Structure formats: C-alpha cells, structure tokens
Chain A
C-alpha cells in the first residue's frame, strides 16, 4: 500500500515570493506521483505528475516538482507566487497496480499582497 504525508497544513506567503510545499510518500513498489490544486468551492485540477524519466517535472501555472527517490519526496515549488495561487494543494501517490490514488491531507496556501 502507498501513503502520502504533506508536512505543512498551512503555508502563508507574500506575493512574488517563492513557495515550497513538502510531500513525502511511502511505498513498497514503484510509484507515480501527482500534485493537484483545488480553488475554493471547485473540484481538483491536475498540476503535474511524475511517471518516469526526468526527476524534475514542470506543470501548469509555473509550478514544478522534483522526485527524490532516496528521500521519498516529491516537493512542489514555484519561484514567484500570485494572489491567484491561493488554494489548497494535494499530493497523491499511485502504485500503478490498482485503480486508486492515495491523497495527502492537503496544504492550504494563502498568498498576501
């Protein structure tokens, strides 16, 4: 079975500052990793995913994440945030052998002017 831990429940950040959201996973098999974003009162939107290949993954809206197998981490970063990046962010892992994703508890990012 796979599981995900998001290390920060809330991250306040000023506009144009960088942000990093931390995600650690555990799995006994090879994994696929995902980051989703949820804007208020909306469904989840896929930001980016790691399936294989380059460990640095670029996604939408200027976000990127780095897969680190030795540290079992998949941290999300953005060099300069906007007010519109205020949202909840979910890390998720799939073992690929079944049909399910395991989600972290989420990190709420609040961007202030």
Chain B
C-alpha cells in the first residue's frame, strides 16, 4: 500500500532563517505531488504541484519554492522566512489519470515563524 511521510512535524524558526520541509511517498511511482498550506482558521491553499521530476508549478506568488529531485520526493523551501509563512503545511500525492484525481495527504508540518 502507499504511504506518505513528511517531516519535521513541528518547527519553530526565527524570521529571516531558511526553511526545508521534506516529503516522500512510498508504494507508488510517478505520482503527482502537492504542497498545501493551511493558515489558522482558513481553508487549504495550493502552493505547488509537480507532475514529474524537476517539473514544478507554482499556484501563488510567495516567499517559498519547491523542488522534486527524485520521483517520490518533494521539498518545500525558503531562503528567508517571513512571519506570514506560519501555518500548517501539508504534502499530498495522487495517481496520474486515476480515480478522479483523488488526493492523499501526509500528516502535516506545523511551522511557527517567530
């Protein structure tokens, strides 16, 4: 069966520091990969999605970037964090062309920028 892991689960970072959140998917190949952000009291915002290695689409302009160095690895980064980057970050995956694009989520990472 497929599983998705992301880490770290919790992170407290000072303003201006770098960020790296990592996500890996197991049990499938060539998945679509996603990074979502959930700010306090708000819904889910799609930040990035990727359909293959090195292929990244950004949904909103922001202080963050994403990379996909391997088929099942997806990394969310920032060179200098802002207070507004605080939130709950969710990695997710889906099967290409399958099941109406059902998306499966990881456990999430809490980021607090102080």
Q: Report if A and B associate in a common complex.
A: yes
Return chain A residues, CB-CB under 8 Å to B92: 44
Give the interface residue-count category, chain B.
20 to 34
Q: Do A32 and B101 contact each other (CB < 8 Å), given the known contacts A41-B110, A43-B90, A43-B106?
A: yes
Is A44 within 8 A of B105, CB to CB?
A: yes
Closest chain A CB from B104 CB (angstroms): 7
Does the CB pair A99–B51 fall under 8 Å? yes
Knowing A99-B94, A100-B49, A104-B43, say if A43 contacts B101 (CB, 8 Å).
Answer: no
A100-B49, A105-B42 known; A44 vs B94 contact (CB < 8 Å)? no
Closest to B101 in A: A94
Q: Which residue of B lies closest to A97 (CB)?
A: B101
Q: Can you sample 6 A-B contacts with CB below 8 Å? A: A36-B105, A43-B90, A44-B44, A100-B34, A101-B103, A103-B43
